[in-house]
Amino acid sequence: MPKQSLKGQGVYLMRVMKTVMAHYTPHVIAVVLLIIASTWCTLQSTLFTQTLIDSHILPMLSGAVEVTEGFASLAAALTRLALILGVGVILIWSSNRIMINVSQGTMLRLRKELFGNMEKLPISYFDTHAHGDIMSVYTNDVDTLRQLIGQSIPTFVDSMVTVVMTFVSMVTMSWHLTIVSLVMIGVTMLVSAKLAARAGKGFVAQQKCLGALNGYVEEMMTGQRVVKVFNHEEKSLEQFRQLNEEMRDAASTANATVNVMGPINNNFGHISYVVCAVIGAAASIAGLIPLSLGSLVTFLSLNRNFSRPISQLSQQMNSIVMAMAGARRVFELMDEKPETDEGYVQLVNARENPDGSLTETEERTGVWAWKHPHRDGSETTYTRLQGSVTFNDVDFGYVPEKTVLHNITLYAMPGQKIAFVGGTGAGKTTITNLINRFYDIQDGKIRYDEINVNKIKKADLRRSLGMVLQDTHLFTGTVMENIRYGRLDATDEECMEAARLANADGFIRRLPDGYQTLLRGDGANLSQGQRQLLAIARAAVADPPCLILDEATSSIDTRTEALVQQGMDALMRDRTTFVIAHRLSTVRNSDCIMVLEQGRIIERGTHDQLIAQKGKYYELYTGNAIGA
Mean pLDDT (10-residue bins), the chain, 628 residues? 49 85 91 92 84 77 73 85 91 92 89 87 82 82 85 84 85 80 76 69 76 78 65 80 85 73 70 78 76 78 75 67 82 87 88 87 85 80 89 90 90 89 85 88 92 91 84 85 88 91 87 90 78 86 84 64 68 82 78 91 92 88 52
Q: What is the pLDDT of residues 483-498, one digit of tens each?
A: 998 888 889 999 999 8
Instruction: Mark whether 376 and 271 lie in a shared domain.
Output: no
Whether residues 484 and 415 share a domain: the answer is: yes
Residue 36 included in any domain: no
470 and 556 inside one domain: yes
Q: Tell me the C-alpha to C-alpha distance, in Å, between residue 361 and each of 351, 374, 456, 519.
A: 7, 20, 19, 37
Q: What is the pLDDT of residue 306?
A: 75
b/e burial code for range 395-410 (CB count within 10 A of at least 16 → b): ebbeeeeeeebbebeb
- β-pair type (600-605, 465-468): unpaired
Distances (CA, A) of 306 to 104, 164, 191, 230, 574: 31, 9, 17, 64, 82
Residue type, 525: N
Q: Are residues 353 and 378 in the same domain?
A: yes
CA distances from 250 to 191, 426, 488, 553 (A): 22, 43, 46, 47
Which of 32, 269, 305 has its CA nearest to residue 153?
Answer: 32
In a domain, residue 58? The reply is no
Q: Is 510 helix (H, G, I), strand (E, B) or coil?
A: coil
82 in any annotated domain: no
CATH number at residue 436: 3.40.50.300
pLDDT number for residue 456: 92
Same domain, 355 and 408: no
- Say whether both 309 and 404 belong to one domain: no
Asked if residue 314 and residue 298 are part of one domain, the reply reads yes
Is the Cα torsion angle 291, 294, 300, 301 positive or negative in sign? negative
Segment 247-300, tens digit of pLDDT = 888 888 777 766 776 677 667 777 777 777 788 788 777 777 777 777 778 878
CB atoms within 10 A of CB 597: 14
119 belongs to a structural domain: yes
Return the CA Rg of the chain. Answer: 36
Sheet of 465-468, strands arranged across: 465-468, 546-550, 576-580, 417-422, 592-597, 600-605
Distance CA 437, CA 123 (A): 10
Task: Check residue 627 and give its pLDDT.
Answer: 32
Residue 321, domain member (yes or no): yes
CATH number for position 139: 1.20.1560.10
**DSSP bridge pairs for 478:** 518
State residue 9's pLDDT score: 62
Give how many domains the chain has, as a whole number.
Answer: 3
User: What pLDDT was estimated at residue 287?
Assistant: 73
Residue-level pLDDT at 610: 92
Q: Which domain holds residue 543?
A: 389-627
Task: Identify whether the C-beta of residue 73 lies closer than 8 Å to the C-beta of residue 119.
Answer: no
CA angle 203, 157, 110 (to 5 degrees): 55
Residue 394 DSSP code: E
Is residue 3 one of the residues assigned to a domain? no
Residue 270: inside a domain, yes or no? Answer: yes
> Are 597 and 422 a contacting pair, CB within 8 Å?
yes
| 393 and 253 within one domain | no
pLDDT at 6: 46
Does residue 492 sit in the same domain as residue 380? Answer: no
Residue 61 lies in a domain: no
Q: What is the pLDDT of residue 593?
A: 92
Residue 213 sits in the same domain as residue 281: yes
DSSP 149: I
User: Are 471 and 329 part of one and the same domain?
Assistant: no
Measured CA distances, 16 to 34, 384, 411 (Å): 22, 49, 52
Q: Examine the domain organization and report whether 359 and 238 are in the same domain.
A: no
